[in-house]
Homo-oligomer: A and B are copies of this chain.
């Protein structure tokens, strides 16, 4: 019986099989690398992918998942609405969720925030510098002033999100863009962290500082409320 946090890494797992430009780090799928890396951080990790039945997200798996890590890019529309609804309910009931990179366009992110998550973007192999904006946040514990990635896909504002409950990182890009790249939201019992770094072309999930942030964010997201709220009709005033 383990006290370790149970993490499920979900991956669309299409782009790695279809495109030559994908970095060799991800030859077995981004989920495989992420799972391996997170295991070294003392988490229990399982994976699930789009093309499995129920997209791999069975009730049983969601029930024992403390934190879900979400990677999707080209096939957001293929995620079935009833699975999105189920995942969203799990988040509201206290499962944490880490939405990575292009997951800003996923149905689950949109359904939790109310906005589209649209961004501006381009591929220009630009240097990215991810600045810590909130040093008093568990997710930035032990992180330097900034993390530098030599080459990255560029995301820029406007970014169609509600004002984050906690704005943790803002990225600088060589070509002139900035981007709110680390954003926390709270929804009922659930904790949501959007973290921009990624893209299939660069071995960003091999970067130990990025993995430090992922570890911190998993630990933070795992501590959502565990209780069950009771809503609805109350016949009597509570003081009677």
Report how far A239 CA is from B177 CA in the complex, Å.
9
Please judge, given known A-B contacts A170-B178, A176-B172, whether A158 and B239 are in contact too, CB under 8 Å.
no
Chain A residues within 8 Å of chain B by Cβ, number: 72
Whether A121 pairs with B160 at a CB distance below 8 angstroms is no
Does A193 reach chain B (CB closer than 8 Å)? no
Q: Which of A186-240 contact B (CB under 8 A)?
A: 186-191, 223-225, 227, 229-240
Give the contact stretch, choosing among A10-18, A21-29, A111-119. Answer: A111-119
Whether A232 pairs with B92 at a CB distance below 8 angstroms is no
> What residue of chain B has the Cβ atom nearest to residue A126's Cβ?
B237
Report how far A44 CA is from B189 CA in the complex, Å.
32
Does A120 reach chain B (CB closer than 8 Å)? yes
* Residues of chain B with a CB closer than 8 A to A135's CB: 158, 188-189, 225, 227, 229
Residues in A lying within 8 Å of B, measured CB to CB: 88, 92, 111-116, 118-122, 124, 126-127, 129, 131-136, 138, 140-141, 145-146, 148, 154, 156-158, 160, 162-163, 165-167, 170-178, 180, 185-191, 223-225, 227, 229-240
